[in-house]
């Protein structure tokens, strides 16, 4: 969900008169080079982990698929970047809110409601909604919610909705997993396009927007806090690239202890894993940023 909130929602913050070539050049330059370098790193990392062979095909395949599981997000970003200029045309001419509501509802119905219905009922849809599928709806949502002050006085209701759907995600995942043979983890409710994640992403975005607009909040007036927050923000993309390595190292006991979300009690092992992974990743990214030749791979 965090990937959606902090990246897909902001992808549509573009100037209406921005030249197409400048738009693509500016954004792709920050994604393509890091993707190539980190894909190569993870090809060798996978060899270190599993002794999988490093071949020319391994490098050629990154043109079409991620070298490591979390790099899928970069391919999604690139795809959205190519489509954003087309959505921009819609934004320029969609003066009435009803136009946004129509597209957003159609997208939500196509990517969330239909898959939900097909998973839990015997009904199968034959409608073709490919033109509004994928992550593009998040872009339009980000633009629409950022532009319009909706629900900004409904903090308690937004928080309540978020908590309800968070609980729904947890218990829904538990029930689906318990139903599977050998309790194989069912990640349906973790999907970025599942109804619960879409709703949680929207409420989280609105809550963050409300928080950012509350200038009287003490921590936003604290210079030290803002400096720390700015540092975390500038390192976030690099953290995303490298965090999978530290998750693996912690799980393998590289630091003298083994830690992941599947051992001991999940109540403390999951938070501890997240905190340590963030800490190690952040320090590594800060160090990389200090090396001129390397800083471009952690933009």
Question: Does the pLDDT at position 6 exceed 60?
Answer: no
**Does pLDDT of 79 surpass 80?**
yes
Given pLDDT bands bounded at 50, 70 and 90, which one contains residue 88? confident
In tens, the pLDDT along 194-237 reads: 999 999 999 988 888 887 776 555 556 667 777 887 888 889 89
* DSSP letters spanning the chain: -HHHHHTGGGTT---TT--HHHHHHHHHTTTHHHHHHHHHHHHHHHHHHH-----HHHHHGGGTS-SSGGGHHHHHHHHHHHHHHHHHHHHHH--SHHHHHHHHHHHHIIIIIHHHHHHHSS-------GGG-TTHHHHHHHHHHHHS--STT-HHHHHHHHHHHHHHHHHHHHHHHHHSGGG----GGGSTTSHHHHHHHHHHHHHHHHHHH-TT-GGGS-HHHHHHHHHHHHHHHHHHHHHHHHHHHHHHTTTSS---TTSS-HHHHHHHHHHHHHHHHHHHHHHHHTSTTTGGG--
pLDDT-derived band at 259 (thresholds 50, 70, 90) equals confident
| Residue 5 confidence (pLDDT) | 52
pLDDT at 282: 95
Q: Is the pLDDT of residue 173 over 70?
A: yes
State the pLDDT confidence band at 4, using cuts at 50, 70 and 90: low
């Amino acid at each position: 969900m965090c990937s959606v909130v902090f990246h897909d929602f902001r992808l549509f913050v573009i100037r209406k008169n921005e030249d197409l070539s400048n738009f693509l050049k500016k954004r792709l330059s920050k994604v393509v080079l890091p993707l190539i370098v980190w894909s190569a790193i993870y090809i060798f990392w996978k060899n270190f982990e599993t002794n999988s062979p490093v071949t020319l095909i391994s490098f050629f395949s990154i043109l079409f698929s991620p070298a490591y599981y979390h790099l899928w997000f970069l391919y999604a970003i690139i795809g959205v970047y190519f489509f954003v200029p087309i959505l921009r045309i819609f934004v320029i001419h969609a003066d009435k809110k009803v136009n946004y509501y129509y597209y957003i509802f159609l997208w939500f119905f196509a990517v969330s409601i239909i898959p939900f219905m097909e998973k839990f009922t015997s009904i199968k849809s034959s409608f073709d909604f490919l033109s509004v599928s994928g992550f593009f709806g998040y872009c339009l949502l980000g633009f629409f919610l950022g532009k319009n002050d909706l629900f900004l006085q409904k903090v308690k209701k937004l928080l309540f909705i978020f908590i309800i759907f968070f609980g729904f995600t947890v218990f829904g995942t538990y029930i689906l997993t318990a139903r599977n043979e050998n309790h194989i983890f069912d990640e349906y409710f973790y999907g970025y396009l599942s109804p619960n994640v879409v709703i949680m992403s929207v409420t989280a975005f609105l809550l963050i927007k409300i928080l950012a607009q509350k200038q009287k909040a003490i921590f936003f007036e604290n210079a030290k806090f803002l400096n720390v927050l700015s540092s975390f923000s500038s390192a976030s993309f690099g953290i995303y690239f490298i965090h999978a390595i530290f998750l693996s190292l912690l799980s393998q006991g590289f630091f003298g202890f083994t830690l992941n979300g599947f051992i001991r009690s999940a109540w403390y092992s999951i938070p501890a894993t997240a905190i340590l992974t963030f800490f190690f990743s952040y320090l590594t990214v800060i160090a990389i940023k200090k090396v001129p030749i390397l800083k471009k791979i952690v933009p």
